[in-house]
Amino acid sequence: MAKTSWIVRSERPQKYKVREYNRCKVCGRSRGYMRKFGMCRICFREHALKGMIPGVVKSSW
24 marked among binding-site residues:
yes
46 marked among binding-site residues:
no
Residue 51 phi/psi, 5-degree rounding, is: 80, 25
43 marked among binding-site residues:
yes
Q: What three-state secondary structure class fits 18?
A: helix
Cα 30 from Cα 6, distance rounded (Å): 10
Known binding-site residues for Zn(2+) equal: 24, 27, 40, 43
Known binding-site residues equal: 24, 27, 40, 43
